[in-house]
Amino acid sequence: MSADIVLWLVQDGITTGAIYALLALALLLVFAVTRIIFVPQGEFVSYAALSLGMLQTGQTPGTVWVLIAGGAIVAVLEGASALARREPARLARILAVYVAGPLAIAALARWGAAHALGLWAQMAIVAALVVPLGPLLYRIAYRPLADASVLVLFIVSMAAHYVLSGLGLVIFGGEGLRTNPISEARFDVGVLKIGAQSVWVAGASLVCMIALWLFFEHTLVGKALRATAINRVGARLAGIPAGLTGSIAFVLAAAIGAASGVLISPIATIYYDSGLMISLKGFVGAILGGMASYPLAALGALGVGLIESFSSFWASALKETIVFTLIIPVLLWRSLASRHPAVEDEEE
Amino acid sequence: MSRLLEVDDLRVRYGKVHALHGVSLRVERGTIVTVIGPNGAGKTTLLGAVMGLLASSGTIRYDGADIGALPVESRVAAGLCLVPERRELFGELTVEDNLRLGAFQRVRRGERGAANELGEVYARFPRLKERRAQLAATLSGGERQMLALGRALMAKPRLLMLDEPSLGLAPRIVRDILRIIAELRETGVSILLVEQNARAALGIADRGYVLETGEVVLSGSAAELAGNPRVAESYLGLAGDRDQGTGDRAQKNPKPETRGQERVK
Ligand SMILES: Nc1ncnc2c1ncn2[C@@H]1O[C@H](COP(=O)(O)OP(=O)(O)OP(=O)(O)O)[C@@H](O)[C@H]1O
Ligand SMILES: [Mg+2]
């Protein structure tokens, strides 16, 4: 194996690793704030990638139907609770947010598909389509169960994953799509030819991470999310609404998912069910990082990207096996290394 | 309507264990009401149920409205705050962040006063100002207690519920904390105080309730309770063995001459 192959594999590994790192952060964030193991994280990735692909081929992304339907379900739920609490004045706002909002976004997507827009405008439309799915999903599937155990929430996650990937098959079909890269340019760095897309991926991931850090360190809402993760009872006593922090965590998770999908779609062909595999690798990264620290989770995910890249060179057929087998020794080592009783499972 | 809090027939159970069997209690505006009782009597459970942390049956009326169905955060927004027995601070956040988060809802509602409040809390607890950049987990026990109280004050409570604010504190700090509680009453905050230190609690309270095994066995003005021989014996450590824990059921066989004075109303 020559040096330029090694460099090439490293570059490839860092590119995919950066995307896994974003997903690892999203999974960790959602878990810390809500105790949900967020299996459907990957669906945001595939929805975003395929929506972008459809826009680029001049079709209205099927995502609009999921958005409209999700909005309608939430409108019914919220409307019923507003009526039960005898606050009919809230109905107008509920209709505006959950019915008119999705319809407006759908109209925008339809218009966007009919016109040959620039890539950035298309990405903005994809974000408008996919990001609201996060809080809608939270409201429908998880918020009614806010006090359930981790296991129950995980089962709900599995169900949500199957529903969303099933819907994905219906609205996108079984064929994969690949989108246009942000830039076709290639830079020569020594022996290495670096694709501009790789630079974009790494750069965009870095920007997302810095933005997350700023959010958590320097805004009251960001600190409220951290507080909820640190001490759930304390957060409730401080008057931080659990529904609000949960929704925000899901907005962030969906936004990160959408960004990952848009970034990965020019590099890899994405199918309706590709999301699970991609986000699982982010999950492996988060586990390698101990499921506790954001920087470690990002590093772990980067490691997963590198290992995957090298194992696909040596043993292409086994690359998934190698990546997932990695968890076993790490978990073993962690359970041996931690002398104190297992991480407290704060189930009230 | 001068009653800020009216609790009627409150019942709580943990699985099959009944922790409160029909507790009723009143807090008038601008007063300090204390609940005393032995370990395991259900004092913490009572506060948890009023705050909405625990499921309960019975009615809880606050400021004239039934709040039994409201989630905790709505009760906080209405001015009902709890400083819990376990403090429940945000250990990996700084002292100042802990305090700021106490005013979370007020900031979100766009209230102006939240920043002034921080100044007031610092004026009340200069120690917290010195430690503003320190992580809450590294504070001493007394400092934690100050922080827990400060965080609750940031929400501008109208009814402040305190669960054993003197727990594990040096006598001088206990005095400080009690003085602050009495000062809060002067600013119009009503207080529901749970204390092991019955003497100190009755010293500043207007009224008191004695809770034993999930039931109110005595209630009355603080002076009446302090003068009640049974309270004196079991909770003030006057008669009998001074080292006797408050949890001991000495009152199970009260001296005959105290019998007639039970259940002072
Ligand atoms: N989570 C729980 N599960 C089961 N039983 C509980 C639980 N919490 C409290 N209890 C029981 O309920 C009863 C009342 O407890 P509580 O904490 O309210 O007492 P307390 O009066 O605050 O006591 P202390 O003075 O020791 O703080 C106790 O017998 C306790 O063992
Ligand atoms: Mg207690």
Structure confidence by residue, pLDDT tens digits, B32-71: 999 999 999 999 999 999 999 999 999 999 999 999 989 9
Predicted local confidence at residue B19, as pLDDT: 93
In short, whether B16's Cβ falls inside 6 Å of ligand 1 is no
Query: With contact defined as beta carbons under 8 Å apart, do B167 and B122 qualify?
Result: no
- How many Å apart are CA A264 and CA A21, to the nearest integer? 13
pLDDT band at A77 (very low <50, low <70, confident <90, very high): very high
- How many Å apart are CA A331 and CA B1, to the nearest integer? 61
Question: With contacts defined as CB-CB under 8 Å, which chain B residues touch A223?
Answer: 93, 97, 100-101
Which of A62-66, B117-121, B242-246 is predicted least confidently?
Answer: B242-246
Predicted local confidence at residue B259, as pLDDT: 36
CA distances to A196, A222, B17, B19, B212 from B248, rounded to whole Å, are 76, 47, 20, 18, 11
Query: With contact defined as beta carbons under 8 Å apart, do B229 and B258 qualify?
Result: yes
Query: Tokens at residue B253, please?
Result: 């066989």
Report the complex ipTM.
0.85
- How many Å apart are CA A258 and CA A131, to the nearest integer? 7
Query: With contact defined as beta carbons under 8 Å apart, do B63 and B78 qualify?
Result: yes
The chain B residues in contact with chain A (CB within 8 A) are 51, 53, 71-73, 76-77, 81-82, 84, 87-93, 97, 100-102, 104-105, 107, 151-152, 155
- To test the contact with chain B by mutation, choose from A237, A245, A348 the residue with the greatest count of B C-beta atoms within 10 A, namely A237
pLDDT digits (tens, 9 = 90+) for B6-15: 999 999 999 9
Q: Looking at residues A9-37, what average pLDDT do you find? A: 92
Size of interface A-B (CB pairs under 8 A): 70
Query: With contact defined as beta carbons under 8 Å apart, do A35 and A143 qualify?
Result: no
Predicted local confidence at residue A8, as pLDDT: 85
Which residue among B72, B90, B102 sits closest to A230, beta carbon to beta carbon? B90
- How many Å apart are CA B163 and CA B193, to the nearest integer? 6
Residue window 206-225, chain A: list those with CB within 8 Å of chain B: 220, 223-224
pLDDT band at B258 (very low <50, low <70, confident <90, very high): very low
Query: With contact defined as beta carbons under 8 Å apart, do A277 and A308 qualify?
Result: no
In short, whether B50's Cβ falls inside 6 Å of ligand 1 is no
Query: With contact defined as beta carbons under 8 Å apart, do B68 and B7 qualify?
Result: no
Query: With 70 as the cut, is the pLDDT of residue A219 above it?
Result: yes
Asked if B72 and A237 come within 8 Å (Cβ–Cβ), the reply is yes
Asked if A234 and B90 come within 8 Å (Cβ–Cβ), the reply is yes
Give the three-state DSSP class for B25: strand
Predicted local confidence at residue B137, as pLDDT: 94
CA B18 to ligand 1 center in whole angstroms: 10
Q: Looking at residues A225-253, what average pLDDT do you find? A: 94
pLDDT band at B247 (very low <50, low <70, confident <90, very high): very low
Predicted local confidence at residue A343, as pLDDT: 46
Say which CATH class B3-79+157-258 falls into. alpha beta
Q: Looking at residues B242-260, what average pLDDT do you find? A: 39
Query: With contact defined as beta carbons under 8 Å apart, do B205 and B222 qualify?
Result: yes
Query: With contact defined as beta carbons under 8 Å apart, do A304 and A17 qualify?
Result: yes
CA B212 to ligand 2 center in whole angstroms: 12
Residues B50, B157, B179: CA angle, nearest 5 degrees: 100
Q: Looking at residues B249-255, what average pLDDT do you find? A: 40
Predicted local confidence at residue A191, as pLDDT: 67
Query: With 60 as the cut, is the pLDDT of residue A263 above it?
Result: yes
CA A69 to ligand 1 center in whole angstroms: 46
- Residue nearest atom 4 of ligand 1, based on CA coordinates: B14
pLDDT digits (tens, 9 = 90+) for B220-235: 999 999 888 888 877 7
Query: With contact defined as beta carbons under 8 Å apart, do B196 and B162 qualify?
Result: no
Query: With 60 as the cut, is the pLDDT of residue B99 above it?
Result: yes
Average pLDDT in chain B? 86
Query: With contact defined as beta carbons under 8 Å apart, do B194 and B35 qualify?
Result: yes
Query: With 90 as the cut, is the pLDDT of residue A338 above it?
Result: no
pLDDT band at A336 (very low <50, low <70, confident <90, very high): confident
Nearest to B135 by CA among A346, A227, A210: A227
Nearest to B211 by CA among B14, B18, B25: B25
Predicted local confidence at residue B244, as pLDDT: 41
Which of A33-42, A255-264, A322-331, B130-139 is predicted least confidently?
Answer: A322-331
A186 touches chain B (CB under 8 A): no
Predicted local confidence at residue B1, as pLDDT: 54
* Full-model pTM: 0.87
HSE (side-chain half, CA atoms, 13 Å) at B241: 9
Number of H helices, E strands in chain B: 11, 10
Question: With contacts defined as CB-CB under 8 Å, which chain B residues touch A226?
Answer: 90, 92-93
Domain ranges of chain B: 3-79+157-258, 88-156
pLDDT digits (tens, 9 = 90+) for A120-171: 999 999 999 999 999 999 999 999 887 889 999 999 999 999 999 999 999 9
Query: With contact defined as beta carbons under 8 Å apart, do A27 and A279 qualify?
Result: yes
